[in-house]
Amino acid sequence: MLFDGTAFAPRSSQRYIAQLDVSQANQLSLRVDGDIISCDLQYADISAPLGKLPVKFTFPNGWVFTVERTVSVNQWLASNKRSSLVDKMEANGLAWLLSALVCVGVVLSLYFYVLPWTSDKVAKAVPSHIAVSLGDKILQSLDKSWQESKLSAEKQQKIQKRVSQHLTQLEALPYPIKLEFRASDMGANAFALPGGKIILLDDMVALAEDQQQLDSIILHEIGHIYHRHMLKKLVHSSLLSVGVALLTGESSGVVDNLAGLGVFFLSNGHSREAELEADVFSKQAMLSLYGTSQPLAEMFERLQEQYNHDVPEWLSTHPDFEQRIQAVSE
Ligand SMILES: [Zn+2]
């Protein structure tokens, strides 16, 4: 088979009418200007043909031959497996669809698996003093709208002392636990901050009928600290906004995210999984400390009762109460 085209001498722009003989297997022969220039097919560089552009053959000695894409040229390229990936994809809508699906799959698995996994690793690698100062910053921000606790210093110290005593009997925690007492009009609530601070609002302390009920709630918050839930959530959110910022070139999201840590912390509850993990921690700790986890179930019931009509933060961010009462009851 002969292809009619144009040839260019090495390092020259002079054009020649030429023919390329492809009839011999694995061999190219260029007939130009009364000469025949041959080479092994594997040593020739054949330009990746895009759409309808001419195909370019470059010989090892520098001769170049170009030919329009005719049906026979395409057939020869196809049978010599030199058609480009783009050509193949164009010819194969299914391949496009598959590659689009693969892209979607990659993004989804990044979001659902790689991101949580990375957040988990990063949260565990954050040095304690950084976690503590992050917690302190959040507390500073929260303190703008909260007041000092009305509980007596004696009562505060008594609770802190009892909790410290409990901690000696529990599994080691990533951070030392420090209770902080505050008053707020937001209702009975408690929070675990990155770095080991637990905030107890006066209404939560008042809601507990006895020390076991109060301890069950404190232990739930210690469960959040044990699992580093808040830190993981903040890292997760930061990684996501950093990722989005990198993808879109929009960097203000990162700054907003860091500046809004306190607000973020207040308005976002833990995930259902995180709550269940903290419940399990509290239940097991209550069983080993008091031989019963019933006070936790009682506390959940009291919270639910107290806010029967108006759904408070603690309930809305601590989902599926009925189910959780069942789960922590013996
Ligand atoms: Zn919780």
Ligand 1 centroid to 24 CA: how many Å?
77
- CA–CA gap between residue 312 and residue 125 (Å, rounded): 34
Ligand 1 centroid to 168 CA: how many Å?
22
Ligand 1 centroid to 309 CA: how many Å?
21
Tell me which DSSP letter residue 45 carries: E
Residue pair 270/229 in contact (Cβ under 8 Å)? The answer is: yes
Q: Which residues does 173 contact at the CB level (< 8 Å), separation at least 6?
A: 167, 196, 222, 225, 226
Ligand 1 centroid to 224 CA: how many Å?
7
Is residue 12 over pLDDT 80?
yes
Report long-range pairs for 145-149 (Cβ below 8 Å, ≥24 apart): 145/184, 146/182, 146/183, 146/184, 146/201, 147/182, 147/183, 147/184, 148/182, 148/183, 149/181, 149/182, 149/183, 149/202
CATH 2.30.29, domain 2-83, yes or no: yes
Ligand 1 centroid to 221 CA: how many Å?
6
3-state secondary structure of 270: coil
Ligand 1 centroid to 209 CA: how many Å?
20
Ligand 1 centroid to 319 CA: how many Å?
9
Ligand 1 centroid to 193 CA: how many Å?
11
Q: Which residues does 264 contact at the CB level (< 8 Å), separation at least 6?
A: 234, 237, 257
Mean pLDDT of 68-88: 74
Ligand 1 centroid to 316 CA: how many Å?
10
Selected residue with higher pLDDT from 209 and 268 = 209
Tens of pLDDT, residue by residue over 104-124, are: 888 888 888 888 888 888 888
Tens of pLDDT, residue by residue over 257-269, are: 554 554 555 556 6
Residue pair 16/7 in contact (Cβ under 8 Å)? The answer is: yes
Q: Crossing angle for the helix pair 153-167 and 211-226, nearest 10 degrees?
A: 60
Selected residue with higher pLDDT from 240 and 25 = 25
Q: What confidence tier does 288 reach under pLDDT thresholds 50, 70, 90?
A: very high
- CA–CA gap between residue 281 and residue 300 (Å, rounded): 15
Ligand 1 centroid to 118 CA: how many Å?
22
Ligand 1 centroid to 326 CA: how many Å?
16
Pairing type for strands 2-8 and 64-67 reads: antiparallel
pLDDT of residue 18: 95
Ligand 1 centroid to 166 CA: how many Å?
19
Is residue 286 over pLDDT 80?
yes
The domains of the chain are located at 2-83, 126-328
Ligand 1 centroid to 247 CA: how many Å?
33
Ligand 1 centroid to 297 CA: how many Å?
14
pLDDT of residue 259: 45
Cα 268 → chain centroid: 17
Ligand 1 centroid to 275 CA: how many Å?
5
Ligand 1 centroid to 277 CA: how many Å?
9
